[in-house]
Amino acid sequence: MYLSPAELTALVDGTETCPHRFLGQHPLGQSGTVVRALFPGALSCEVVTAESKPTKVPMEHLHAAGVFEVVFPKKKPPFGYQFLVQYPGGVSHQSEDPYRFLPTLSSEDLYLLGKGDHHQGHHKLGSRVLTVDGVAGVAFAVWAPSARRVSVVGDHNFWNGRAHPMRSLGVSGIWELFIPGLKAGVRYKYEIVGPHDLSPFLKTDPCGLHFERAPHHAAIVTDLSAHVWHDEAWLARRRESDPRRQPVSIYEVHLASWRRVPEEGNRVLSYREIGEQLAAYCKNMGFTHVELMPPAEHPFDGSWGYQVTGFYAPTHRFGTPLDFMAMVDTLHQAHIGVIVDWVPAHFPRDFFALAQFDGTHLYEHADPRLGEHQDWGTLIFNYGRHEVRGFLVGSALSWLERFHIDGLRVDAVASMLYLDYSRKEGEWIPNRHGGRENIEAIEFLKQVNSVVHLYHPGVMMIAEESTSFPGVTRPVFDGGLGFDFKWNMGWMHDTLQYFKTDPLFRKYHHDKLTFGMLYQWSESFVQAFSHDEVVHGKGSLIRKMPAPTVAEQFANLRCLLALQWTWPGKKTLFMGCEFGQFAEWNHEHSLDWHLLDYPLHSRVQHLVRDLNRLYVSDASLAAREGEHDGFSWINPADADQSVLTFARWGEQCHWVVIANFTPVDRTYRFGVPHGGQWEEVLNTDADCYGGKGRGNWGAVQAQALPCHQRPYSIEVFLPGLSVLVFRQKTGVLS
């Protein structure tokens, strides 16, 4: 096969969509084999044959731009060889020919990627360290269906887009190239010529695993096999577990501001430092999981990670992907699960990343009524494109498989479910049935939840969803979205509104505490006080507590936390709230750890530790916290005294909880389900928690005095602004 002038021009100008047609080795029938190469800027090139006695065969310089050719009249392809290239200044380089290798993606790969249903797609796109035909190198693959040309540029070719043009794999829209000799650590981008303009532009790899520091944003070839995991026992237990029936107490963390090193210029901790310190802290505090605010790569610190540009990559800010793996490994070995915030709802407009990736609206909708998120100034994924859904499913699977993540908390689900989310009339387009539901996004959520649970049993999928959309945590086969849990935003909002109210007037708002039980069993809930409640002028959690003294503020905070832990549902608490940080959260500074030198702060931290220990002490309570018969009211209606009483039922023990939300001390009788002794296992007014140290001497004896439709009752001393928990083990019931 000889080059025509037009074909030679296409190679030189970079408009040839399949350079493998002309570069590399090609049969010439009876005339042998032609080997052709493209080395922009080279003075000369020789073929070094792979024989017992290698020989150097000079190549003809076909074009000044760096096209070389030689004919081997007696050889038939395929055969091995390398190029020896001479550059100005006496620089020489010997390498394998990238264009003599077959595609690293099969026809089945292309079919499944096109369907958006390739469950190993995260191992097919992006950059992969591979050995092909005994030759080590890196395979690149990227989806850019409207591009005229895509080239790999980077450290290896002086960022020259003419040096390594990729081949188009037909209607799949995927461009592919295997470059032998490359190793982990090489920086790269894709140079793309779009459909409307011949001017090339640079894009970073959508599936890159590691990125360099801004403002350059190059992806970095990464080999994750260098990390040896030591969490096999943890993963084995996870596969056999059902998180709905286990205690789940989550500590929400922002990696850059949880803890810093002020002695070193306010330096952030590395992944490895965070792993060691966070594991020790959570183990001491009794949290079962940490939740990391989005650790994926993002360009702007002020987005807290919620405007993602690298959906497969841990951010470079704290180290490499291998360092991130070590952090997760350390937490697992301390028996702490790791949940990450995952953001498939939108992405930023930064041109170096996904926006108009191949010169068209590829990942996003072209119509701003569908493709622009008005609240955040970001772009909305086009869930109707199979490849976009496949890209996002691949991101989820990548975090779970490669990095051993134990759960994904899916951000902004409500904005995905509704086409009119935060839009006025005329600013949105109804679905094909005339409704407001985003049918394609709903199908995507079902798809990702189904695939995650298929391959990773025991992993949690958690929805941040603030509407009454039905069936969020119902299985997909039963018509639901397939999440395991949903943040209980209604309970959070009502409870905080109640606690913000002066205790003198709380009796008029008692229904805010009880209303949530009307829908408690409609979903599997997480009771969450998250970062969203302590930013943007909302003040810290303790600053929300109205009180004439700091001591009463802390008493209110202790009541709030005790109510959260004793209420049915899993728990999430944002960092700093566990010790009553006064300052509103600031992502640029460390938590105020020095406050633990003061008793009120250290003692509320002690309370959270004991709440966690109480919560996990009987797993059967957690197993039933999603079931309506695991809870019963004792008296939800004592609004005049702002007292709330309820019972929790487990297989090993029962709890009765009584809460007094005014500063008035009371002697209070309430009904209990059984006679015998009831142990006072928690009292937020205890001295060790910063209270006044008043209680019931560790236990009370039930009397056969009917109360609240129960045959027995107990009379307790109920301190002002306190929550008390009494427990009776099933073996002593009478």
The set of catalytic residues is: 411, 464
Which is nearest to 325 in space by CA: 217, 452, 210, 233? 210
CA geometry: angle 125, 212, 183, nearest 5 deg:
55
Residue 106: both structure tokens together? 């099969």
CA terminus-to-terminus distance, the chain: 94
Question: Do 684 and 661 meet the contact criterion of CB atoms below 8 Å apart?
Answer: no
Q: What DSSP letter does each residue of 420-461 carry, written as one string?
A: TTT--TTSS---TTS-SB-HHHHHHHHHHHHHHHHHSTT-EE
Task: Provide, for the chain, the percentages of residues in helix, strand and coil under a 3-state DSSP scheme, each rounded to the nearest 5.
Answer: 30, 25, 40
Residue 217, phi-psi category: left (phi > 0), alpha (psi -120 to 50), beta (remainder): left
Which is nearest to 243 in space by CA: 481, 502, 461, 501? 461
Query: What residues pair up with 677 in beta bridges, in sequence order?
Result: 701
For strand 81-87 and strand 91-96, is the pairing parallel, antiparallel, or unpaired?
antiparallel
CA geometry: angle 484, 488, 491, nearest 5 deg:
155
Which is nearest to 658 in space by CA: 684, 622, 625? 684
Cα–Cα distance measured from residue 561 to residue 286, given in angstroms and rounded to the nearest whole number: 15
Question: 491-496 — which CB contacts under 8 Å span 24+ positions?
Answer: 491/516, 491/520, 491/525, 491/527, 491/567, 491/569, 492/527, 492/528, 492/529, 492/533, 495/560, 495/563, 495/564, 496/529, 496/533, 496/544
For strand 699-701 and strand 677-683, is the pairing parallel, antiparallel, or unpaired?
antiparallel
CA 116 to each of CA 193, 390, 396, 472: distance values in angstroms, whole numbers, following the listed order? 25, 4, 13, 23
Query: What residues pair up with 670 in beta bridges, in sequence order?
Result: 714
Identify the helix (H) or strand (E) that includes residue 310.
Answer: strand 310-314
Helices (H), 55-204: 107-115
CA 45 to chain CA mean position, Å: 48
Question: Do 674 and 642 meet the contact criterion of CB atoms below 8 Å apart?
Answer: no
CA 315 to each of CA 77, 430, 663: distance values in angstroms, whole numbers, following the listed order? 45, 37, 47
Cis ω for the linkage preceding 78 (within 30 of 0): yes
Cα–Cα distance measured from residue 257 to residue 215, given in angstroms and rounded to the nearest whole number: 22
Question: Following CA atoms 402, 404, 406, 408 in sequence, which dihedral angle do they give, to the nearest 10 degrees?
Answer: -20
